[in-house]
Amino acid sequence: MSLDLITTEGHRVTSSTEFDAPLAIRGLTVSYGEKPAVFSVDATFHPGEMTAIIGPNGAGKSTLLKAALGIVKPLSGLISAWGQPMASERARIAYVPQRASVDWDFPTRVLDVVMMGQYRSLGLLRRVSGAHRKITLDSLARVGMESFASRQIGQLSGGQQQRVFLARALAQEADLYLLDEPFAGVDAATEKAIISVLQELRAAGKTVVAVHHDLATAPEYFDRVFLINTTRIAEGTVAEAFTQPNLQAAYGGRLATAQMGAAI
């Protein structure tokens, strides 16, 4: 089954500046069965921006992220990173998967998980150097987990697990950060810690994109939102995107008017 994706053929798509953005998605359609989970979505994410991908359950938020990363195969569409095919720019991209996507009973320690973020420089057999160790411990310190370094990962709380995943992404020292539901099932302290790390990244000119499902906190945490329900409903600043018709289109009857009011 050939999709003729130009990106997979390694060609540059166009010289348009829009495609030089850290992440540009054009006409992306992903389908698990015969109903598209994501249909013909265009999206562009720029440096120094922190964007929330927002929508109801089953709106295709995580799917959009996974397709952008090449974890799920799209039915059609183009994805480019800094104007290049995604595959050639992996070193500059960090990904924080959903916490529930791995088995936390896996026999390993916090330190080892964060060290995985440096796999690209470690390779198969290179020895772990002091520099590697320093990056790992610094990353842990930035999420406030340095004292847990030698803890078995199964002994962590949900919030701590999420922080470890974020630390692993930090250890990747990337320019584009993609996070899937980083606030799902975490405590308030963790939520604060994560958001302040993300804001630091934005201040450093990095691009941050996070799947988020809480309309109420979105305006406070993010400066841009990408409202999705299978298709793109709206994209822009919180004020631009969170209009009554847009929220209605994204959430349909699934959201009480009062809640929408709160978000607006």
Partner 1 sequence: MLFEALTLQLGYNATLVTVGAMLLGIAAGATGTFLFLGKRALVSDAISHATLPGVALAFMLMVAFGGEGRSLLGLLLGSAVTSAIGLICVSALTHRTRLSEDAAIGAVLSVFFGFGIVLLTVIQSMNAGRQAGLESFLLGSTAGMLWNDAVVIALGGTLVLLAVLILRRPMTTVAFDPEFAAGAGMNVRRIELAMMGLAMAITVVGLKIVGLILIVALLIIPAVAARFWSHRVGHVVLLAGAFGGIAGYVGAAISATAPALPTGPIIVLVAFAIFLMSLLIAPARGVLAAMLRHRRFQAQVHVRQGLLALATDQPIYERLTLRLMKRRGLVRADGVATETGHAQAARALLDERRWQVLRSDPAHADAAAHYDGLTPLDTVLTPDQLKALDQGLGPRAAT
Partner 2 sequence: MTGAEFVPLSLPPLVIGICAAIACAVPGNFLLLRKQALIGDAISHVVLPGIVLAFLVTGTLSAWPMMIGAGIAALVAVGLIEAVRRLGRIEPGAAMGVVFTAMFAGGVLLLEQSDTSSVHLDVEHALYGNLESLIWLDAVGWSSVFDPEALAGMPPELWRMVITTLVVLVMCVLFWRPLKLSTFDEGFAQTIGLPVNLIGLGLVVTAAIAAVAAFDAVGSIIVIAMFICPPAAARMMTNSLEAQVLWSVVFATVSAVLGYVLAGYGPLWLGFENAVSAAGMIATVSGGILALAAAFGPCRTRSGAPVEA
Binding interface with partner 1 (CB under 8 A): 1-6, 13-14, 26-27, 29, 31, 34-36, 39-40, 75-78, 105, 229-231, 233, 245-246, 248-249, 252-253
21 binds, among partner 2, partner 1, none (CB under 5 to 8 A by kind): none
In the list 19, 45, 82, 95, the residue contacting partner 2 (rule: CB under 8 A) is: 95
249 binds, among partner 1, partner 2, none (CB under 5 to 8 A by kind): partner 1
**Quick one: 56 or 144, whose CB is closer to partner 1?**
56
Tell me the CA distances in angstroms from 35 to 30, 58, 75, 179, one per residue in order. Answer: 9, 12, 11, 25
Q: What angle do CA 142, 147, 148 make, to 5 degrees?
A: 95
Q: Does 102 bind partner 2 (CB under 8 A)?
A: yes
Q: Does 105 bind partner 2 (CB under 8 A)?
A: yes
**Quick one: 217 or 231, whose CB is closer to partner 1?**
231
- Near partner 2 in 115-174, by CB under 8 A: 116, 119-120, 122-125, 152-155, 158, 168, 172
Q: Exposure pattern of 213-237 as b/e (b: 16+ CB <10 Å)?
A: bebeebbebbebbbbbbbbbbbbee
Name the burial class of residue 132, with classes exposed (0-12), middle (13-18) and buried (19+) by CB atoms within 10 angstroms of its CB. Answer: middle
Q: Are 104 and 154 in contact (CB under 8 A)?
A: yes
Q: Which stretch binds partner 2 (CB under 8 A): 10-18, 63-71, 206-214, 241-249?
A: 63-71
CA distance 26 to 93: 19
Name the burial class of residue 52, with classes exposed (0-12), middle (13-18) and buried (19+) by CB atoms within 10 angstroms of its CB. Answer: buried
- What 3-state DSSP class applies to 72? coil
Q: Residue 228: name the closest of 208, 244, 213 by CA.
A: 213
- What 3-state DSSP class applies to 64? helix
119 binds, among partner 1, partner 2, none (CB under 5 to 8 A by kind): partner 2
Min. distance of Cβ 238 from partner 1 in angstroms? 18
Q: Does 1 bind partner 2 (CB under 8 A)?
A: no
What is the binding site for partner 2 (CB under 8 A)?
66, 69-71, 87, 90, 93, 95, 97, 100-109, 112-113, 116, 119-120, 122-125, 152-155, 158, 168, 172
